[in-house]
Amino acid sequence: MKTIKQGILLEDRKESKEEKIKRIFPSRVILPLRQHIGAPCKPLVKVGDKVEEGEKIAESSSFVSSPIHASISGKVIAIKKMPHPLGEEDISILIKRDKEERKNWEHRKNRNLSELCIEEIRNKIQDAGIVGLGGAAFPTHVKLTPPPEKPINTVILNGCECEPYLTSDYRLMMEKTSDCIYGLKTIMKAVKAKRGFVAIENNKSKAIALIREKLKKEGNIKVISLKTKYPQGAEKMLISSILKKEVPSGGLPLDVGIVVDNVGTAVAISEAIKWDKPLIERVITVSGSGVRRKVNLLVPIGTPLSYIIEKCGGLKKRVRKVIMGGPMMGITQYTLNIPVIKGTSGILILAEEETKKVEEEPCIKCARCVDYCPMGLLPTVLAHLVKEEKWDELEKYHIMDCFECGCCSYVCPSKIPLVQLIKQGKLHI
């Protein structure tokens, strides 16, 4: 079975795996203007304006950016700085709902994929504000516009979902199978790729069987079963496992003729092409020992964490951490007045017994962080250089190749916050 050489085995704790997706509808949303890699958006509305669900309310003139749409119909009640999931305040548009019903996008008629040219596909994806929903939030229309000198021959649809607790991608593969495949075919057409792969870890056997059955008549698309291992789902790891190719240092998958997209992104693309539906909602997992009900929810972008937790029965006692994302790469939040943004894959709520407080100790030179680093870096050296503020030397040790998977911090017996230090170094550079 295909897998990566490094990485670690983790308890999957996917207790919400069989929980079908349920839709919720908040009375207000908070829409930050920074929800993706690239230039932040500027408001197209002002306080007091009425907006309709799906209406464009913010955009940027930059190519590497993505517009933002109203995720509910209502009135703009404020445009001001609000807490942001990345840990700082940012300008956000607040909308208060004025309608009880949601728009029925599925009744909208649109042209079939076969009738659309490549430029029309890219424009629809850009207009819909679609970004990578696996967490990176890179504008998808940019990814699907490779330079002429770098032709794409392969598309990998990423259904690994290798972080513990998270099951939203699995539920999409089980419940929106046709949309996952339709989105993959759309991506392949947009980049003129001749073959496609659907990559799924072997702890999701039902999804593997279901998608294989759906694709049995497709000669140029295959399902690849990968050994369950973290961080198997990272772009460069998938390319290495499936195709035995290495993305060059500082490079992108397109440098080796490959595009990798998440299954959630594929579903969003499918809905944009078929129904002209912009990215206004996404599926997230709510899990952990600190929440009463572990579920998968379809939530409007901008839904506050406080509302989501309330819908899950509220918090249990002795909650210690609320994390946006998974336990390895997620970001701990300091308030529940934080909204779901486009890159939010889950909300993890941990009780005290799961988050034992530990004290950092001196490095014992065991090199476990080196042994387990999937990128072949020297995390302990990078951390030391950051502590010593030797910024000029960091790039020599390829600090920018780190994708902050957290393997080094997880295996470190001295509990050195290696990822935190590496993030500081990358920010300085």
Distance of CA 132 to the CA centre of its chain: 6
Identify the pLDDT of residue 88: 83
> Average pLDDT of 324-350?
94
> Average pLDDT of 350-359?
81
Look at residue 112 and tell me whether its pLDDT is greater than 90: no
Q: How far apart are CA 239 and CA 304, in angstroms?
A: 36
Banded pLDDT at 316 (limits 50, 70, 90): confident
Identify the pLDDT of residue 353: 77
Cβ-contact 370, 378 below 8 angstroms: yes
Average pLDDT, rounded, for the chain = 94
Identify the pLDDT of residue 110: 67
Cβ-contact 140, 190 below 8 angstroms: no
Q: Does 111-275 carry CATH code 3.40.50.1980?
A: no
Query: pTM for the whole thing?
Result: 0.95
- Closest by CA to 366, choosing from 294, 426, 321, 414, is 414
> Average pLDDT of 262-272?
96
> Average pLDDT of 363-389?
95
Distance of CA 157 to the CA centre of its chain: 13
> Average pLDDT of 158-181?
96
> Average pLDDT of 90-116?
86
> Average pLDDT of 363-373?
95
* Preceding amide of 248 cis, omega within 30: no
Distances (CA, A) of 407 to 59, 247, 260, 327: 36, 20, 22, 11
Identify the pLDDT of residue 74: 97
Q: How far apart are CA 368 and CA 350, in angstroms?
A: 26
Banded pLDDT at 108 (limits 50, 70, 90): low
Q: How far apart are CA 330 and CA 419, in angstroms?
A: 12
Banded pLDDT at 101 (limits 50, 70, 90): confident
> Average pLDDT of 228-234?
94
Q: How far apart are CA 307 and CA 424, in angstroms?
A: 32
Identify the pLDDT of residue 260: 97
Cβ-contact 35, 68 below 8 angstroms: yes
Identify the pLDDT of residue 109: 67
> Average pLDDT of 52-81?
96
Cβ-contact 342, 131 below 8 angstroms: yes
pLDDT tens for each residue of 8-21: 999 999 999 999 99
Banded pLDDT at 86 (limits 50, 70, 90): confident
Dmax (CA) for the chain in angstroms is 63
Distances (CA, A) of 389 to 253, 383, 422: 31, 10, 12
Residue with tokens 């075919």: 185
Identify the pLDDT of residue 6: 87
- Domain coordinates in residue numbering, the chain: 111-275, 368-428
Range with top average pLDDT, 109-118, 251-260, 346-355: 251-260
Where is pLDDT greater, at 92 or 87?
A: 92
For 130, residues 6+ apart whose C-beta sits below 8 A from its C-beta are: 66, 139, 140, 141, 265, 268, 269, 272, 278, 279
Look at residue 355 and tell me whether its pLDDT is greater than 80: no
Report the run of H or E that residue 47 belongs to, with start and end.
none
Cβ-contact 196, 263 below 8 angstroms: no
> Average pLDDT of 352-366?
86
Question: E strands, 263-360, where?
Answer: 281-287, 295-300, 319-324, 331-332, 346-351
Cβ-contact 142, 136 below 8 angstroms: no
pLDDT tens for each residue of 180-194: 999 999 999 999 999
pLDDT tens for each residue of 278-296: 999 999 999 999 999 999 9
User: Two tokens at 270?
Assistant: 């499918």
